[in-house]
A and B are shown apart, each in its own frame.
Chain A
């Protein structure tokens, strides 16, 4: 409403036309309504308003219908299926109450998957934020050919995760062992993905290789908004490189760090393609993420209702983490 006042004086003469139709309305609306309602009209304000309301209603209808069918309805259906014993195929099934939910909390496979996701997400966000800022600082140097390097560094972001996993699957299973045996390096001769302890790091490496590209470009765009004078002044005051980074660079990057944290955490908590294609959850369940577990229960192991109950619990965990993160990052933005 704040922007209404200065102009309303200029246009106040136009209200006289509307006074004829309804005096009281104009008095109230000239205070409250937005600038858009100021118009000269023989139809009167009320019918103009109605035509606008109708247009607005028509504008939002298709979107709201799509939203109700493909977002609200599936969630409602999910809640319903999660209290049944449906296997996803048979015609008949029974309502079993919270039995599925109870079994989830006794299922070590589920808690392992949650633990895997939590550890994976923490490592992924730390790697992406630290490496992303480091690469952005590097790409912000004004040296010859830097635009070419920037284009190269961003390229992994436009590939599909599936393509990237096919490439790195080959590297892990065939190329690195070949190099390892040629150079006689022991730990390279076996695939990183074939051992329980190293497989999660192998998946993480591939995810970071691709996942750091977009954050790097965002950080770089943030660095370019920092005025040079700030660094020059700090240098004159005798601030060293770390102090300049800590007190000038970092505060400017805070809003972008918060965006990157939310985006990366969400991708880590929902990781599917990387594990599905690189390890399929193996070896021995060491890389079985929540998404993969739900997918397998639903489509491979015919535990349809159970998988939906798992999705509900996982959904609550992920939504809670996102909400906490966003409220923290909103607070970060203040200073």
Chain B
């Protein structure tokens, strides 16, 4: 392939990604009338009215705070609990039938589709009075157990046991061996697991929809977008202002951490 053809193809591909985003970004600056004339023309003036309406009432910032809270809660819980759960399994499953059972029992959950648990989870969470962001966070942590254990156990088994043995000889107990030797070594896999979970939770819609949609004070960014669209379905300039606002945090994150996101996601998948 000549360089010219390569560039032509690259640019065509880039346009299919950029054009929808460009259109999304300029729609909120224009009135509906202006948009109906042309979706791709630049706005005649820099009109921020739609963004003011979106930000009025504090719902947007509440949703942003809720999403950040849930994501942070889950990632912290995952970073602490998942390696802890995986380490005994990784080190004992070849000797202990109990841990072997635990491993396969947990792996089954990867194959159970979400729909099977969806309705009972709503009943369960409402009877446990957990229909709020913290309750949803705990549910997210639990839901990620299958995949996390799969990733961590595989990774831990590839780590040499000699370092741990040496620490035991120096008189360390199991907890110290875990925190000082094992945790630093699993950091690459932790990065992979946290990025995967972080993107999933930040962008998830179905679970917030069935657990948190009762009060706007519980809304996440996806619920905010969804409800905003339902409420102002006719004025799509306004809906798109809400959409653009909701996309800004993850876009900023992507611009600054793009390299780490990509390397984190690929390294985990290639090992797993």
Identify the A interface with B (CB < 8 A).
1, 3, 7, 11, 14, 32-40, 51-52, 55-57, 59-60, 62-64, 66-67, 69-71, 73-75, 77-78, 81, 88, 135, 138-139, 141, 143, 146, 149-163, 166-168, 170-171, 174-175, 178, 209, 214, 217-218, 221-222, 255-256, 259, 269-270, 272-273, 277, 290-291, 294-295, 298-299, 304, 307-308, 310-312, 314-315, 318-319, 322-323
Contact = CB atoms under 8 A, between A and B. Distances in A.
B114 A152 contact: no
B234 to A, nearest CB: 12
Contacts, number: 266
Contacts of A146: 10
Contacts of B94: 1
A153 B115 contact: no
A294 B118 contact: yes
Contacts of A175: 23, 39
B137 to A, nearest CB: 11
Contact of A166 (B35, B229, B266): B229
A36 B236 CA distance: 63
Contacts of A141: 1, 6
Given A36-B161, A162-B226, A175-B39, 4 more contacts: A35-B162, A158-B254, A167-B24, A311-B118
A158 B204 CA distance: 11
Contacts of A160: 202-205, 221-222, 225, 246, 250
B85 A64 contact: yes
Interface of B: 1, 3, 6-7, 9-10, 13-14, 16-18, 20-21, 23-24, 27, 35-36, 38-39, 81-82, 84-85, 87-89, 91-92, 94-95, 99, 102, 106, 109, 111-121, 123-124, 138-139, 141-143, 145-146, 149, 160-162, 164-165, 168-169, 171, 173-175, 177-178, 199, 202-206, 210, 221-222, 225-226, 229, 236, 239-240, 243, 246-247, 250-251, 253-254, 258, 261-262, 265-266, 269-270, 272
Given A51-B173, A56-B88, A81-B119, A75 B112 contact: yes
A39 B220 CA distance: 51
Nearest to B15: A152
Contact of B117 (A71, A167, A256): A71
B27 A170 contact: yes
B168 A39 contact: yes
A308 B229 CA distance: 29
B210 A256 contact: no
Contacts of A139: 10
Most chain B beta carbons < 10 A, residue from A74, A88, A156: A74
